[in-house]
Amino acid sequence: MPRSIIDFVVDYYRHLRIISRNAALFLLGSFFINMLFSVFYLIFNLYLRELGFSESVIGRILSATAIGSMVAAIPAAILISKYTIKRMLLASTVVLAASFYLMVTLTSTVSIMAAAFLMGAFMSFSRVASAPLIMRNSTQKERTYVFSLNFANWMFAGIIGSFAGGYAQKWYSVTYGAGPGSYRFVLYCGIAICLLALIPYAMMKARPPAKEERKFVLDRRLLKEKGGLLFKLSFPFFLVGAGAGLIIPFLNLYFRDVFDMSTETIGTYYAIVQATMIIGVMAGPVLSKRFGMVRTLVVSELASIPFMLIMAFSGNTQLVVISFLCRGALMNMGQPIGTNFTMEMVSEDVHALANSFGMLAWTSSWAVSTQLGGWVIEGYGYTPSFIITICFYLASAALYYHYFANSELKEGHSYRIITPSGDGF
């Protein structure tokens, strides 16, 4: 085994062995939640298509989920700064499962959109809670690794969920007949797995917010003092969300429509791409230690663009699948790094607010672009959506580098973040 790989494994082991019990239980609970989401992203669009919904209607339903997340992001940050995260996780898991059950069971567009809005709102609570929880239950030494492990945890759940979801749908179709029922069966299984998250969440030790966090009040003074920095941290992710919403939610339909793939095959490719994402995400902390968080994030985002061009214009199945895998690894490498960078750039009392601003930026643009993406794909095909997405990604990478290229100082073999003062720049 090459020495560099051994050093990589040893480095990870040394940092991850000191993860706190609360952080480990949170990661386990998140794994079960993420199993539900992996099944959702693979199966739900195909289920709606089986019910007869068009791409534009599917886009509106997905948009309702994003709008729910957007509306709840700031209230979630305020509640998390006042109460224990354990309580929020338990409540949001129950409502998340219930709302998803309604999405699968109901059949009218309006009722599905209402349930999707509710699901998005309570999904927001668990996602806003993740970064403050990691910050409260880790030290700076292992924190970047825990953020990456949290994101890799989502990918690992995606591998299992995508494989299991694709094969379960095929098994049900062969055994009981094809149709919406086969998709509904898989989605119900995802809900049951989601509820298992209640066990590790209940075992967590409730840790109240720090005194500084409890003082948090969202007022004009705070926005004036921190608004500039929060905008610069969030706006590049607004652009990424705007681009991603145009095409990412529709990739399963892209493989089915353009390459005539079965649900089982799509599930296999979705599982494999999650594995490549894990490699990218796990490499992120090592690369960011060597090159800095900002440069690692920007370069990985730019490197994904050639593969998106191949997906936009190539009709070669093998080449497109390889590009799909590489794009997923590169584009997602920077996400936990970006979250960690945001948390390090702001003071403890605004951790939840900063995380919710990032979510708000992403979901607000995603909410609009998923609707537009469905309309563009239905009217003009998939290529225009890929091209517009690439433009958004280029703008995001350029802005992030412009804002933060000088925010890290190299010290020896690693980088130290230069925390801003005042209004953030």
* Pair of tokens at residue 422: 């005042």
pLDDT value, residue 19: 76
Per-residue pLDDT tens for 277-326? 878 877 877 788 788 888 888 999 999 999 999 999 998 999 999 999 99
Tokens of 318: 């093998």
Beta carbons within 8 Å of 216's beta carbon, 6+ residues apart: 78, 81, 82, 222, 349, 350, 352, 353
Mean pLDDT, residues 382-407 taken together:
92
Amino acid 16: pLDDT: 66
Q: What's the pLDDT tens digit per position in 174-217?
A: 888 777 888 899 999 999 999 999 999 999 887 666 555 555 55
12-203+215-406 adopts what CATH topology? Answer: Growth Hormone; Chain: A; (1.20.1250)
pLDDT of residue 208: 67
pLDDT at residue number 130: 79
Give yes or no for a contact between 92 and 68, defined as CB atoms under 8 angstroms apart. Answer: no
Q: Is the dihedral of CA 115, 121, 126, 130 positive or negative?
A: positive
- pLDDT value, residue 293: 86
Res 422: pLDDT: 44
- Looking from the CA of 336 toward its CB, the CA atoms found within 13 Å total 30
272/268 Cα distance (integer angstroms): 6
| Amino acid at residue number 200 | P
Give the pLDDT confidence of 338-373 residue by residue, as tens digits: 888 887 788 776 776 777 778 778 878 887 888 888
Q: Quick one: average pLDDT of 74-80?
A: 77
Q: Name the least confident of 8-17, 24-33, 81-90, 308-317.
A: 8-17
Residue holding tokens 């799909």?
Answer: 324
**Which of 155, 134, 146, 162 minimizes the C-alpha distance to 31?**
155
Tokens for 232? 């610069």
Which of these ranges, 8-22, 90-104, 203-217, has the smallest mean pLDDT? Answer: 203-217
Helices (H), 207-350: 211-214, 220-247, 251-259, 263-291, 293-303, 305-313, 317-345
**Count of CB atoms situated within 10 Å of the CB of 270:** 24
d(CA 193, CA 35): 7
pLDDT at position 412: 62
Which tokens is 2 given? Answer: 């090459």
Residue 415's DSSP bridge partners are 410
Q: What is the pLDDT of residues 226-272, one digit of tens each?
A: 778 888 888 998 999 999 989 988 898 899 889 999 888 888 888 88
The helix/strand/coil state of 149 is helix
| Side chain identity at residue 408, one-letter code | E
Q: Whole-prediction pTM value?
A: 0.69
Domain ranges (residues) in the chain: 12-203+215-406
d(CA 269, CA 262): 11
The closest alpha carbon to 51, from 103, 99, 100, 107, belongs to 107
Nearest in space to 185 (alpha carbons), one of 33, 43, 42, 30: 43
Q: Give the contacts of 34 (CB within 8 A, at least 6 positions apart).
A: 153, 154, 157, 158, 161
First-residue to last-residue Cα distance in the chain: 46
Q: What is the 3-state secondary structure (H, E, C) of 363-386?
A: HHHHHHHHHHHHHHHHHHCCHHHH
Q: How far apart are CA 301 and CA 328, in angstroms?
A: 10
Residue bearing the bigger pLDDT, 335 or 15:
335
In the Cβ-directed half-sphere of 236, how many Cα atoms lie within 13 Å?
24
pLDDT reported for residue 273: 86
Q: Is 102 helix (H, G, I), strand (E, B) or coil?
A: helix
Alpha-helical runs (H) found in 17-84: 21-39, 45-50, 55-82
Question: What is the predicted pLDDT for the residue at 371?
Answer: 80
Contact at 8 Å (CB) between 92 and 69?
Answer: no
How far CA 22 is from CA of 76, 206, 358, in Å, comes to 20, 9, 24
Distance CA 16, CA 28 (A): 14
Dihedral pair phi/psi, residue 101, rounded to 5°: -60, -40
- pLDDT of 7 reads 64
Stated as kind and residue range, the H or E segment containing 119 is: helix 109-136
Please answer whether residues 189 and 39 qualify as being in contact, where contact means their C-beta atoms are separated by less than 8 angstroms. Answer: yes
- When pLDDT is cut at 50, 70 and 90, the band that residue 170 belongs to is confident
Residue type, 364: S
Element (H, E) at 417: strand 414-417
Q: What is the mean pLDDT of residues 398-421?
A: 74
Flag the least confident range among 56-70, 216-230, 305-319: 216-230
Give me the pLDDT at residue 425, please: 44
Cα–Cα distances (Å) from 35 to 31, 78, 118, 370, in that order, read 6, 27, 19, 22
Report which DSSP code applies to 422.
T
